[in-house]
Structure 1
């Protein structure tokens, strides 16, 4: 029996890929079905909507280790970019702890770098630039952490399809079924190249018809509006602060200062990995509690 454990946020929880019974499926469940014959995979999805990298390290990792996984996926970081007090060193620290711990437990670890949301969603410049800046920083530390262990790392920026509108759900924030299948298939291909456990490649074509216009409107009026309301209480203030700061610096011709600040912070984050065994950087800084 092969054990596959998935850690992360709403994308790994399956948001954007609804099942007929109203539950979410998602890329991790699709990949699980492709790792071994039916009945030969024990799949545990621990991902939680809104999770930060610290949440994954503190709450999901201990449960994942208890399952003694053969394969583990860790996709997290997007929510960190949308919060006040963005700290790329802390993110790198907790990512290294999570991925390193799973690797030392004997799991083959899957990780990923994310596409640029500013380019993806056509956001206005005062909002697109700070988010893109932060995503680039998260991607840099994620790539560095993944390079420290012999796992499987997917860079979604290298997949042109990731930027196609048809890959995204009605909320424009999560992959749709086709996008989840792209993720599952891409990880499957990397597992094949690495000689990892594989059985059958996930079908890239959706098994469910695309939602009708009426269904999309109904989703936004019911589930979508409730989800947006819950997230507006933590996301909107942070996004507004980022946009205002970007506008203020840009107005004074100082936008390059913001670029340089994040670049310096990213360099410091990467420096902590030098000559440090994977998963042990947490001796430098504790995993913070969620605010």
Structure 2
């Protein structure tokens, strides 16, 4: 099934799929999965969409908590994106994480869904203090591609494109995409799925940024980021807490899609 033929789209994942960085807790979160659903609905207003993603979830938790509800919704299109929270943990096993993702790929494709996933960008270019984690990201990406090939899963492969690490595409915490970043992720998945009107424009660099920081100002920005975001994140990890504690999926049922007027 291709293009506007998709009628039942279900998104599984963590905070990125939930939409953090695009909207807020008062007005609501949008995010790349919502934007992808809107693109589907522009071609077919009969599309129904559910988003089971919950922030802070590890890949194993996504599998344990979201796979069965997703299968019960009988999607013809599903997106499965998880693993970054695993990469950030002290103990990281890329084979274990990829195994959870592959189990979801296998179950959803076996039921007849078209499944799409993402690889992750070079987080060291987004947040330089995270450079030691880059080998983990590369290892996970390689295993995602391998698992996807085995199950005929579509991959929106962001890793080869430096444009996706442009700071303007990321929110202040550098863990979640900005609204423009979420729009690019949606465009990448739409392009991978060959949806009508999609193209490779998401891979192209943004215009030069005259406000880009350098030298001492950039170093100070790194210190501010560490104090405002990295420190609190580490405290939560030490305490065994997660940003998703007590949270439920924002859109657990298949519902009609409202296409926003701005179309972005």
Whether these two folds match at TM > 0.5 is yes
Whether the 8 Å contact between 1:82 and 1:235 is mirrored in structure 2 is no
1:103 is the counterpart of 2:106: no
Whether the 8 Å contact between 2:123 and 2:165 is mirrored in structure 1 is no
Give the root-mean-square deviation of aligned CA atoms: 2.7
- In structure 2, the residue matched to 1:179 is 181
Q: CA 1:187 to 1:78, structure 2 compared with 1: closer, same or farther past 3 Å? A: same
Whether the 8 Å contact between 2:74 and 2:111 is mirrored in structure 1 is yes
Deviations 1:97-129 (A, max 9, x none): 011111111111011110121122122xxx522
Instruction: Give the deviation of 1:19 after TM superposition.
Output: 5.6
- In structure 1, the residue matched to 2:246 is none
| Counterparts of residues 38-77 of structure 1 (less than 5 Å) | 39-77=45-83
| Counterparts of residues 1-291 of structure 1 (less than 5 Å) | 2-18=7-23, 21-37=26-42, 39-123=45-129, 127-129=130-132, 131-192=133-194, 198=195, 229=232, 232-234=235-237
Name structure 2 gaps, 5 residues minimum.
1-5, 203-226, 241-264
Instruction: Give the deviation of 1:235 after TM superposition.
Output: 6.7
Deviations 1:176-221 (A, max 9, x none): 01000001111111211xxxxx4565998xxxxxxxxxxxxxxxxx
Q: Provide the rounded CA distance (Å) in 2 between the counterparts of 1:89 and 1:179.
A: 28
Whether the 8 Å contact between 1:36 and 1:200 is mirrored in structure 2 is no
Instruction: Give the deviation of 1:21 after TM superposition.
Output: 4.4
Whether the 8 Å contact between 2:173 and 2:229 is mirrored in structure 1 is no
Q: Which runs of 4+ in 1 moved over 3 A?
A: 36-39, 198-204, 224-231
Name structure 1 gaps, 5 residues minimum.
193-197, 205-223, 238-291
Q: CA 1:43 to 1:84, structure 2 compared with 1: closer, same or farther past 3 Å? A: same
Whether the 8 Å contact between 2:126 and 2:174 is mirrored in structure 1 is no
Q: TM-score w.r.t. structure 1 length?
A: 0.65
Q: Provide the rounded CA distance (Å) in 1 between the counterparts of 2:49 and 2:197.
A: 16
- In structure 2, the residue matched to 1:284 is none
Instruction: Give the deviation of 1:30 after TM superposition.
Output: 0.3
Q: Provide the rounded CA distance (Å) in 2 between the counterparts of 1:35 and 1:118.
A: 33
Q: CA 1:138 to 1:164, structure 2 compared with 1: closer, same or farther past 3 Å? A: same
Instruction: Give the deviation of 1:231 after TM superposition.
Output: 6.1
Instruction: Give the deviation of 1:157 after TM superposition.
Output: 1.4
Whether the 8 Å contact between 1:6 and 1:28 is mirrored in structure 2 is yes
Q: CA 1:40 to 1:82, structure 2 compared with 1: closer, same or farther past 3 Å? A: same
Larger Rg belongs to: 1
